[in-house]
Amino acid sequence: MARVFVGVGSSVDPEAHVRSALAHLHEELGLVRVSTFYATPALGRPSDPAFVNGVVEVRDRLPPAALKGLLSRIEDAEGRRRGGDRFAPRPIDLDLLLHGDTASTAPGRHAPSIRRAAPARARAGPRAARHRPPPRGDGRRAAPVSDGAARGTHPGAEGDPRMNSAKVEALVRELLVELGEDPEREGLLRTPSRVARALQFLTSGYRGDVEQIVHQAVFAQRTHNMVIARDIELYSLCEHHVLPFFGRAHIGYVAQGRVIGVSKLARLVDHFARRLQIQERLTEEVASAVLEAVKADGVGVVVEAQHLCMMMRGVEKQNSMMTTSSVLGSFRRSVATRTEFLTLIDQRHL
């Protein structure tokens, strides 16, 4: 298996672009080792911003020509513009330095010290190794790319609701090491990226907006009847153990001249379920959102769910079921309205 090294450099918002490029490389190829990153003045252009440079070893998955194509696509994704002044500042610069026995002969190109990533019980993931780089003119060492969120528009930045996937992947790798596993073995190579993608989906409720969900889906309708959507499947994560709970939600409301598209009721359940939750709060949040969206006379929500934190650990009660309800407006004021709702959602009475 050939050893493959890639030079990584940036002089435009380097914290964000280097971290993002590392995430791309890790996703596409897998990172083996990552060097310290250091800053050097732009060659012959003292007024330009300094370049932050480092080297990574990636897995040998592609021949050189295909790998160069992949590096170019990552550069394009990071906003690299080609042509014009080849020495101008750039968001990212990815150079194939070594592929097996074939090394780049570009002048002035030196690789800093590199070590193996994630040995047993050691730090894991795409973080900088703390080795002194070799002398390079008047180069000065830069702080390693941090595990903290990058600024600007990078995922995880302040003001940006996207999850920092690269940081989550690094944390998952650390967790695997702490559990006594080897994140470099075949079965776990892509586990950090898979977990990051899964968590991004399962917590997407933090990054959504109720107004966008119900946008243009509330319609004027001269009715004052009860509307019910029953057996809406839901999946969420318990905030106490980050284990799943799953079940069904039943939603009813008494319309007051307006109705909502029925699929939006399911989307509202998903919106609040896809975050760290407790069932009691989830039930209340769905009820309040429906009441506000439809301006209903009253709303009732019942959630029935099983919790893996109670089934596969702790008391280990496999058949336990938790039921919660929230009733607002006329559903709370009127026993008859509440009874009608509870009767209609109980299939045994239909």
- Positions annotated as catalytic residues are 80, 90, 93, 95
Residue type, 136: R
Q: Would you call 219 helix, strand, or coil by DSSP?
A: strand
Looking at the DSSP bridge assignments, the partners of residue 40 are: 51
Q: Which two tokens stand for residue 136?
A: 């390079």
- Pairing mode of beta strands 258-260, 276-277: unpaired
Radius of gyration for the alpha carbons in the chain, expressed in angstroms and rounded: 27
CA neighbor of 110 nearest in space, from 89, 135, 141, 91: 135
Residue identified by tokens 């975050």 is 275
Q: Would you call 307 helix, strand, or coil by DSSP?
A: strand
Q: Which two tokens stand for residue 39?
A: 């800053």
CA neighbor of 16 nearest in space, from 133, 166, 128, 126: 166
In contact, 280 and 322? CB cutoff 8 Å: no
Q: Which two tokens stand for residue 146?
A: 């941090």
Q: Would you call 35 helix, strand, or coil by DSSP?
A: coil
- How far apart, in whole angstroms, are the C-alpha atoms of residue 322 and residue 278? 11
